[in-house]
Amino acid sequence: MKIVFFGTPQFAVTTLVKLRENPDIEVVAVVTQPDKRRGRGNKTLPSAVKKVALEHNLPVWQPPKIKKDPETLDLLRKTKVDAFVVVAYGQILSEEILSMPKLGCINVHGSLLPQYRGAAPIQWSIVNGDRTTGITTMLMDRGMDTGDILLKAETEIKLLDNAVDLAVTLADRGADLLLETLFKLEQKEINPIPQSDSLATYARLIDKADFAIDWSQSALEIHNRVRGFFPNCAAKLDDKKLKVIATVPITETTVKDLPAEYRILQQQYSELNQIESKPGEIVKNIKNLGALVQTGSGFLLLTQVQLAGKRTQSGWDFVNGMRIVPGTKISNG
């Protein structure tokens, strides 16, 4: 089977690699976003997908606007492949492009559609506290993630998973599901199922304002935000930005299911509930773990942080280095 692969970020790399390794698949070309300036040095760098494509000596096409790029459109027409595979490419495909391949354009989406259509399904599923998510393969149409569903695979979201952890899991599941989808489509073993728009939800683009921590929220809400928008959420300590990178929620519902290294908090939970404190106030330093912060409901253990101008450090190193004491106030972001 011949395919053209469309993708840009790291999430798409796993699928490209598995396609490339499969003896029954030929990746004719790779389409990815143009190189962008990134990092502190503001250097022009290729996408994660482009790096891998070049390592495998695959042709790479990088049109700034694919719908209006005559050269790329002509190249795509001439490929005469079985399918276009699209994984987090980052541009909308025209109706002409969608109609080019024999089997159609097949998208790998990081949610159980029609839930979380849009740009950031993995992040918002965590922020919203979902226990499960998954991967959907679909036939693309002109809408935003509205095409007919081909196959789905469900995945558990664990309490301490962040968006990067979950993306790695989903990328691997998505690659396998995509291969299954391609071969079943070729054998006409899949009946595409139209999505129900009435059940659709949307994963909007993430804004910088979403990174601000509000200690009046519950411990679980803040924890979900921290891991969903990893590693960007922040509060303030003495008017300095404090990035909160990893946390553990200590609540009546979560304390019973914590990993072994946090069991000490289960033993201390009743005692902690007797402490009178306000949201954002550090109530106790937990030895070898970090500072415990009062929230609007429950406590949040800071296990990894980064103070402005400093390196990322463990919660316990932060406590010792900054000489944090109970009663210290951490302000909202």
Chain segment 125-181, per-residue pLDDT in tens: 999 999 999 999 999 999 999 999 999 999 999 999 999 999 999 999 999 999 999
pTM of this prediction?
Answer: 0.93
Mark which of 181, 203, 225 sits at the end of a domain: 203
SS3 317: helix
Same-domain status, 99 and 214: no
Same-domain status, 212 and 199: no
Distance of alpha carbon 320 from alpha carbon 144, whole angstroms: 49
With contact defined as beta carbons under 8 Å apart, do 298 and 250 qualify? yes
Give 16's pLDDT tier (boundaries 50, 70, 90).
Answer: very high
Same-domain status, 192 and 229: no
Domain assignment of residue 111, yes or no: yes
Q: Which domain holds residue 178?
A: 2-203
The alpha carbons of the chain give a radius of gyration, in whole angstroms, of 23
Tell me the average pLDDT across 291-299.
96
Mark which of 186, 203, 220 sits at the end of a domain: 203
**Is 150 a known ligand-binding residue?**
no
Same-domain status, 73 and 187: yes
The CA–CA distances, whole Å, from 155 to 10, 173, 267, 333 equal 19, 9, 31, 32
In the predicted structure, residue 76 carries a pLDDT above the cut 90: yes
Same-domain status, 83 and 132: yes
With contact defined as beta carbons under 8 Å apart, do 14 and 176 qualify? no
Same-domain status, 287 and 198: no
**Is 111 a known ligand-binding residue?**
yes
**Is 19 a known ligand-binding residue?**
no
Q: What is the mean pLDDT of the chain?
A: 95
Q: How many domains is the chain partitioned into structurally?
A: 2
DSSP state of 331: B
Residue 4: what pLDDT? Answer: 98
Mark which of 203, 236, 260 sits at the end of a domain: 203
Tell me the average pLDDT across 62-71.
95
**Is 237 a known ligand-binding residue?**
no
Long-range contacts, stretch 271-274, CB < 8 angstroms, 24+ apart: 272/299
Residue ranges of the alpha helices (H) in the chain? 10-21, 48-55, 70-79, 95-98, 121-127, 163-186, 219-228, 263-272, 315-321
Query: From the CB of residue 236, how many other CB atoms can be counted at a distance below 10 Å?
Result: 17
Distance of alpha carbon 108 from alpha carbon 219, whole angstroms: 33
The CA–CA distances, whole Å, from 308 to 40, 202, 242 equal 15, 33, 6
With contact defined as beta carbons under 8 Å apart, do 81 and 101 qualify? yes
Domain assignment of residue 102, yes or no: yes
Share of the chain above pLDDT 70, in %: 99
Domain assignment of residue 54, yes or no: yes
Same-domain status, 56 and 141: yes
Q: Is 88 left (phi over 0), alpha (psi -120 to 50) or beta?
A: left
